[in-house]
């Protein structure tokens, strides 16, 4: 088996995106286009992957990672020139796969089949092609009588007859490395754009008696290039369908797939039900037997088994087993919420740990707190964690009972089994099993309204 290297072209300006961001870092289903392409290249076990960068290169490096291999195209002089700056890092004797960072729907299965076709055909180059209803803007495939490729004509250089061809170049190729290197050295830029076309290497190979093949893919969607934000939205819908379908085939119930948004690299256990309007971000891990939604938003979080998240937001936190969150709860980053817990309606938890069996039923804020197990929070409790300069932590030990409308002014500790009376503002530590009352005695003034305002 020949060594396979991959070049990913990501240097273009992408002006049609009308964005300050590099085109290839725009996301679909939570992952940037270039990451989608790079991940597929990794799956075919490429010996080396080189990304060609140029325009807004810092953004691409920040997205893909500094540990990757890059080649810099200082001037955008066409696809042939882009490939040439990467070839210096690839040795002869193998196959090089050329990919575009703005074709994010491509799969490793298609890439592997194209490589297998290339090896079996013994061609110097193989073009990945597809038939499309509207070929406007794409290079047209010119085939000979034996089906081999005679050339690729770009839209701006095509005549009327050639523009009627519907088989187009997807911009993805396999080449023999040594033959590609020789062909690129002979490229010229005598065309309408003044650029060095990678497609012209095919004509050079043909003139020298080599065979050029074409691996034709039957799914045009997979080879869709993204040039503007509308096309990105179309690709997003296709990718979302793929992701949802895979989860359903793995035992997840999705009530309304068209109204459920699951990003890449999400793990969901069997027998979990996802209700409409739910958004699950990249990196989430959800256990088995859960109910998520409706209208819930989960981002970078871990959810245990048999847990319900009802109309709530969970960000960068961990929720245990058999726990109920919501409706309308907000769990902010850096929370660890244990098993058999209730985080009820209009509850906010932030940067806190909550022990097993605790109930935070409604209208409560728990911030910067360490809460033990089997604690009961009365309605309207607030951990007062900010003194205008620093955040402080509250500690509530196992079995404590926090009365309604209690303010716990941090730093403060409520001991094991301790109680706070409703309406108290607690500023000092409460010992184990004690009752803390921090409020004035009620004063009743008879006939106060009549004396003040009259009958």
Q: Coil, strand or helix: which one is 89?
A: coil
As to burial, measured by CB atoms within 10 angstroms (0-12 exposed, 13-18 middle, 19+ buried), residue 249 is exposed
Reduce the DSSP state of residue 270 to 3 states and report it: coil
Q: Is 270 a catalytic residue?
A: no
Residue 124 vs residues 6, 181, 225, 257, 440: alpha-carbon distances, Å: 16, 11, 25, 44, 90
Contacts of 167 (CB under 8 A, 6+ apart): 129, 130, 131, 135, 140, 141, 143, 216
Calpha distance 346→274 (Å, rounded): 22
**Active-site hit among 26, 247, 324, 362:** 362
Confirm if 202 and 186 have CB atoms less than 8 A apart: no
DSSP code at position 329: -
Report the SS3 class of residue 170.
strand
Helix, strand and coil content of the chain, in percent to the nearest 5, comes to 25, 30, 45
Q: Which residues are catalytic?
A: 362
């Amino acid at each position: 088996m020949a060594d396979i290297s991959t070049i990913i072209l990501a240097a273009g300006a992408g002006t049609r995106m009308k964005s300050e961001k590099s085109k290839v870092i725009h996301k679909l289903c939570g992952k940037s286009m270039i990451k989608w392409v790079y991940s597929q290249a990794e799956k075919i076990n490429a010996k080396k992957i080189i990304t060609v960068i140029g325009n807004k290169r810092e953004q691409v490096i920040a997205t893909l990672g500094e540990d990757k291999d890059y080649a810099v195209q200082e001037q955008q002089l066409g696809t042939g020139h882009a490939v040439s700056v990467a070839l210096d890092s690839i040795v002869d004797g193998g196959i090089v796969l050329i990919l575009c960072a703005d074709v994010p729907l491509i799969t490793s299965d298609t890439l592997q089949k194209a490589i297998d076709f290339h090896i079996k055909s013994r061609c110097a180059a193989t073009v990945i092609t597809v038939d499309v209803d509207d070929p406007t803007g794409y290079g047209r495939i010119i085939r000979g009588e034996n089906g081999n490729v005679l050339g690729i004509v770009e839209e701006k250089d095509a005549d009327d007859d050639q523009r009627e061809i519907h088989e187009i170049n997807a911009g993805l190729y396999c080449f023999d490395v040594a033959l590609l290197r020789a062909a690129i050295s002979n490229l010229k830029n005598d065309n309408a754009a003044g650029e060095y076309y990678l497609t012209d290497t095919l004509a050079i190979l043909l003139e020298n008696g080599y065979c050029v093949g074409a691996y034709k893919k039957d799914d045009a969607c997979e080879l869709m290039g993204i040039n503007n934000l509308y096309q990105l939205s179309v690709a997003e819908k296709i990718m979302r369908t793929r992701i949802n379908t895979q989860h359903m085939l793995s035992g997840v119930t999705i009530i309304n797939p068209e109204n459920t948004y699951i990003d890449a690299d999400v793990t969901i256990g069997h027998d979990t039900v996802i209700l409409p309007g739910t958004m699950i971000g990249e990196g989430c891990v959800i256990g088995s037997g859960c109910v998520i939604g409706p209208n819930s938003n989960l981002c970078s979080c871990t959810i245990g088994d048999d847990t319900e998240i009802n109309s709530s937001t969970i960000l960068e936190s961990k929720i245990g087993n058999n726990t109920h969150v919501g409706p309308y709860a907000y769990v902010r980053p850096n929370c660890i919420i244990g098993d058999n817990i209730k985080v009820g309606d209009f509850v906010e938890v932030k940067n806190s740990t909550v022990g097993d069996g605790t109930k935070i039923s409604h209208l409560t804020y728990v911030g910067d707190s360490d809460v033990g197990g089997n604690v009961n929070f009365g309605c309207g409790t607030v951990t007062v964690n900010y003194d205008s300069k620093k955040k402080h932590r509250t500690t509530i030990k196992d079995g404590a009972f926090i009365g309604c409308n209690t303010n716990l002014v941090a730093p403060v500790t409520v001991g094991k089994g301790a109680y706070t009376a409703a309406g108290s503002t607690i500023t000092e530590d409460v010992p184990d099993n004690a009752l803390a009352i921090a409020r004035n005695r009620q004063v009743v003034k008879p006939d106060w309204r009549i004396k003040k305002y009259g009958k």
